[in-house]
Amino acid sequence: MKKLALVFMTILLAATVVSADDFYPPEWRGGPLSVEAEWDFDSPPANWYYIPPDYFNAVGGSGNEYLYSGFGTHAEVGYPTSWMWQPLIDQGGGITPVDGSGGDYLTFAMQNWVDMEPWKDVRIQITGIWQDITTLDPMLNELIFSIDVVGSPVENWMMTDAQIFAYDMTGWFQAYIDLRIWPNPDWEKIAAFIPEGLIIDQVYIDTISIIPEPATIALLCLGGLMLRRKKA
């Protein structure tokens, strides 16, 4: 498993963060073989092992593919007793590890298109609250280094971008993370360690199976060769 993480860079200090939760949608949303899922966490989860998305949409391609049906798209935590739901003014609510829990893993299980395309691109948008602005950057860096991707099959993945999109002085922030996974899995589970003190208000995940240009296929093959040489 290969992982490349980029350092977060703050690109915008916004006066009001919370006006738009879907703050940085990928331009490829709605394209062939894409899916999108949104979690608002605006009411206490009935089952912490299976939190269905508030919105899910899947767009097919040529008709030769089908949506993976082994599980439904959902979020799940490692230990339900480590979590609590809390109301948020004007934002419904969010979920956070309880004091003393030490934090816990939060996993997003994504149904995806079973197709023959070589790789998958993913954008994860997070809106949350972290009270200490001076530690926002290191906290998110730790979070992205904790990310793990499993799926069928997932042999390689890398982080292609990670940015704090906006934050404000009350602790609200928005950040996004881009991943590339290959070979393209039929489903994937994306897990991240959520520390105590981090309130997750909303998560938006987009994925798309990429139909590459021939030049890009050559680059991918070259990359594969170089990886193999490194191992040898």
Binding span for Ca ion by CB under 5 A among 23-31, 84-92, 130-138, 215-223 = 84-92
Count of residues making up the chain: 232
Cβ nearer to Ca ion, comparing 42 with 196: 42
Token couple for 51: 């939190």
Q: Find the binder of Ca ion among 40, 65, 115, 206 (CB under 5 A).
A: 40
Based on the shown chain and the rule CB under 5 A, indicate whether residue 61 belongs to the binding site for Ca ion.
no
Compute the least distance from the CB of residue 200 to Ca ion, in Å: 8
Compute the least distance from the CB of residue 90 to Ca ion, in Å: 10
23 dihedral zone (left: phi>0; alpha: psi -120 to 50; beta): alpha
Site for Ca ion in 85-124 (CB under 5 A): 91-92, 94
Secondary structure of 183-225 in the HEC alphabet?
A: CCCCEEEEEEEECCCCEEEEEEEEEEEECCCHHHHHHHHHHHH
Q: Are strands 113-114 and 156-167 parallel, antiparallel or unpaired?
A: unpaired
Compute the least distance from the CB of residue 111 to Ca ion, in Å: 22
Cβ nearer to Ca ion, comparing 45 with 94: 94
C-alpha of 211 from chain center: 21
Binding span for Ca ion by CB under 5 A among 23-31, 70-78, 97-105, 195-203 = 195-203
Compute the least distance from the CB of residue 216 to Ca ion, in Å: 37
Alpha helices in 32-124 (DSSP H): none
Amino acid 192 reads A
Site for Ca ion in 202-231 (CB under 5 A): 202
Give me the half-sphere count of Cα atoms (radius 13 Å) on the Cβ side of residue 148: 8
Q: Find the binder of Ca ion among 186, 201, 203, 207 (CB under 5 A).
A: 201
Binding span for Ca ion by CB under 5 A among 70-78, 128-136, 197-205, 222-230 = 197-205
Query: What's 146's DSSP letter?
Result: H
Would you tell me which residues interact with Ca ion (CB under 5 A)?
A: 40-42, 91-92, 94, 201-202
